[in-house]
Structure 1
Amino acid sequence: MNIKILAKTDVFIKARVIKGYSQRELAKHSGLSHAYISLLERSIKSVGPSTAKKLCDLLEKDLEELFLIEM
Structure 2
Amino acid sequence: MRIMAKTDVFIKARIIKGYSQRELAKKSGLSHAYISLLERSVKSVGPATAKKLSDLLGKELEDLFRIELL
Q: Same fold (TM over 0.5)?
A: yes
* Residue pairs, 1:1-71, within 5 angstroms: 1-7=1-7, 10-71=8-69
2: CA distance, partners of 1:37 / 1:6? 13
AA partner of residue 31 (structure 2): S
Give the TM-score, by structure 2 length. 0.95
Say how many residue pairs are matched: 69
Give the TM-score, by structure 1 length. 0.94
Instruction: Give the 4+ runs in structure 1 shifted more than 6 A.
Output: none
AA partner of residue 4 (structure 1): M
AA partner of residue 57 (structure 1): D
C-alpha deviation, 1:70, in angstroms: 1.2
2: CA distance, partners of 1:4 / 1:60? 18
Pairwise CA RMSD of aligned residues? Answer: 0.7
C-alpha deviation, 1:52, in angstroms: 0.1
1: CA distance, partners of 2:6 / 2:20? 19
| Percent pairwise identity | 78
Structure 2: gaps (5+ residues):
none
